Amino acid sequence: MLVDDKKTRTGHYISFVLLLGAAALALLPLYWMVVTALQQPTLTVTFPPEWFPSNPTFLNFTRFLERPHVFRWTTNSLLISLAVTGVQVFTCAMAGYAFAKKQFPGGNFIFYLYIASMMIPGQVTLVPLFLIMSRLNFLDSYWGLILPGIAGPFGVFLMKQFLATLPTELIEAAIIDGCGEWQTFVRVILPLAKPGLAVLGIFTFMGQWNEFLWPLIVTNSSSMRTLPVGLALLQEELPMQYGLLMAGATFAAIPMIVIFLMFQKYFLKGITVGALKG
């Protein structure tokens, strides 16, 4: 028995060391990004590199924030991410509720057909989507940046799987009490679906905040660029200013780090919510 306990503890120690090493490797690029951003501009290309800056400075952050359009890029990213997240969470919740709790002809076929669209690479739909936005005169506008992201098959799948776990008796009780479909959805379903809505909201916000290809294609003016696109253009403009570029990357990563630290439990919930069965 003692031998088994020692083997178990040894296995736990080995697992801990391996996980710690994997975490260190995963955090190494992030650490180097912050270190480079805090270095003197003249020291970012020295060799061997300084892993611990001797004279850290915020000069690179100051220079980055003084660049034109930086705050406009940040505002655009924030506005688009919030708008897409709000609309997508609501539309996916409605679609998930219909697929999970309503019976209608062809419901399963439509659901699986819609989910199968996740296998289509986004690059395949870029040209037709661009043509649609062009004919609607939505190029280089907030409409062109927001509308393509207001619904998605992953969000519908996530909400359908989560809402399928809710007791159908609650819906029947609400109908008996005189609630219509809309009242049942708003007053009964949405409050109970807060964990699933939070998971979908976090995933959607992060995806939109980091979106690069579509904003690059659909926008022309500097004032309509998002932060990831602006940073890429800044890299072309200042190819050797590594400290400034890393300061911009750190600035762009701060919202994601804050969200992760604030909502860790929802990320863990998101790992298992799709596997729940009714």
Q: How many residues does the chain have?
A: 278
Q: 164 Cβ partners below 8 Å, 6+ apart?
A: 100, 101, 276, 277, 278
Q: Which three-class secondary structure state does DSSP give residue 74? A: helix
> What's the pTM value of the predicted model, to 2 decimals?
0.82
Nearest to 161 by CA among 110, 207, 115: 115
Instruction: Say what the pLDDT of residue 245 is.
Output: 86
Quickly count: other Cβ atoms within 10 Å of residue 21's Cβ.
Answer: 10
Q: Which two tokens stand for residue 3?
A: 């031998």
Determine the Cα–Cα distance for residues 230 and 43; give it in Å rounded to an integer. 25
Determine the Cα–Cα distance for residues 147 and 211; give it in Å rounded to an integer. 14
Determine the Cα–Cα distance for residues 161 and 107; give it in Å rounded to an integer. 14
Residue pLDDT, tens place only, 220-254:
888 899 999 988 888 877 777 878 888 888 999 88
Q: Which two tokens stand for residue 273?
A: 């919510």
Determine the Cα–Cα distance for residues 125 and 265; give it in Å rounded to an integer. 34
Determine the Cα–Cα distance for residues 87 and 145; give it in Å rounded to an integer. 13
Determine the Cα–Cα distance for residues 159 and 149; give it in Å rounded to an integer. 16
Task: Tell the residue number behind the tokens 């289509």, with chain if given.
Answer: 120
Task: Tell the residue number behind the tokens 């997240």, with chain if given.
Answer: 85
Q: Please report, in tens digits, the pLDDT of each residue of the chain (278 residues total).
A: 445 566 677 777 888 888 888 888 888 888 888 888 888 776 666 666 677 777 788 888 888 888 888 999 999 999 999 999 999 999 999 999 999 888 888 888 999 998 898 888 888 888 999 999 999 999 999 999 999 988 889 999 989 988 888 888 888 888 888 888 888 888 888 888 888 888 888 889 989 999 999 999 999 888 899 999 988 888 877 777 878 888 888 999 888 888 777 777 766 665 565 454 44
